């Protein structure tokens, strides 16, 4: 199991896979909250897209689309920043050649999904960094335009190597991913395993509705405890990868 199933959807087999040996093993990724950005290449060439999903291919597309869509309510504050990112990414041959080769290899729309952080949105931090939204970065780690953080567990990123994208840094936009180094942990769960062993899997498939419901109630309660155990680890035991205030991590079991 690579991505944790939401606690409310954990069934008996999920829980047994997670805690059957008395621990929950996995690693963490950092939660991020910048401007959602897709960097892609399809049969028509290079593009980027924001959270609305419309593919933009030329400089000024974001501002034009927003002006047409919003009319009198249009404000170019965010949209010109997307255009700035798009322009610099268009001018990054490493990004474009990688995505084109990836698209040719996998015969589909090749995408990098993540969050963009625009440097001019930042403010000086008291410890000498630059605060942009939920991260604080040393000025040397930010490009002159900003930073792109890859969401390593996004399905669209499954065929990309997270470490590789760091080679796309060009001084304008720097690249990183959300995987937290040295975060592989074994979360103690012997007490949860004991509770798991009290559940009768045969009764879960029983025709006796009362017996079945009783075991299902045990599963639901245990699923909630497993979810809380993971949440406690994700939020309380790791420092934020990119500085700033702790906003939590996602824990990914590997069983």
Pairing of strands 146-150, 173-177: parallel
What's the pTM value of the predicted model, to 2 decimals? 0.79
Alpha-carbon Rg of the chain, whole angstroms? 22
Closest CA to 222 of 24, 6, 11, 22: 11
Domain ranges of the chain: 7-31+185-253, 35-177
> 122-167 pLDDT, tens per residue?
888 877 778 887 777 777 888 999 999 999 989 999 999 999 999 9
**158 vs 153, 198, 253, CA distance in Å?**
7, 37, 16
Answer whether 29's CB lies under 8 Å from 52's CB.
no
Question: Tens of pLDDT along 97-115?
Answer: 999 999 999 888 999 999 9
């Amino acid at each position: 199991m690579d991505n944790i199933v939401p606690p409310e959807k954990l069934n008996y087999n999920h829980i047994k896979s997670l805690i059957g040996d008395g621990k929950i093993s996995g690693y963490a990724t950092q939660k991020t909250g910048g401007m959602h950005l897709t960097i892609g290449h399809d049969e028509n060439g290079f593009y980027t897209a924001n959270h609305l999903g419309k593919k933009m291919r030329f400089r000024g597309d974001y501002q034009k689309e927003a002006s047409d869509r919003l009319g009198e309510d249009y404000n170019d504050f965010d949209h010109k920043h997307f255009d700035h990112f798009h322009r610099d990414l268009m001018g990054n041959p490493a990004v474009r050649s990688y995505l084109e080769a990836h698209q040719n290899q996998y015969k589909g729309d090749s995408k990098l999904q993540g969050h963009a952080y625009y440097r001019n949105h930042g403010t000086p931090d008291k410890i000498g960094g630059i605060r942009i939204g939920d991260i604080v970065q040393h000025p040397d780690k930010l490009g002159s335009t900003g930073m792109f953080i890859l969401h390593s567990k996004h399905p669209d990123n499954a065929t990309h190597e997270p470490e590789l994208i760091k080679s796309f840094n060009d001084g304008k936009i720097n690249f990183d991913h959300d995987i937290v180094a040295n975060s592989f942990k074994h979360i103690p769960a012997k007490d949860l395993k004991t509770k798991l062993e009290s559940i009768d899997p045969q009764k879960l498939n029983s025709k006796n509705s009362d017996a079945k419901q009783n075991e299902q109630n045990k599963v639901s309660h245990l699923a909630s405890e497993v979810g809380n155990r993971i949440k406690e680890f994700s939020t309380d035991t790791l420092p934020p990868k990119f500085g700033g205030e702790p906003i939590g991590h996602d824990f990914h079991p590997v069983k």
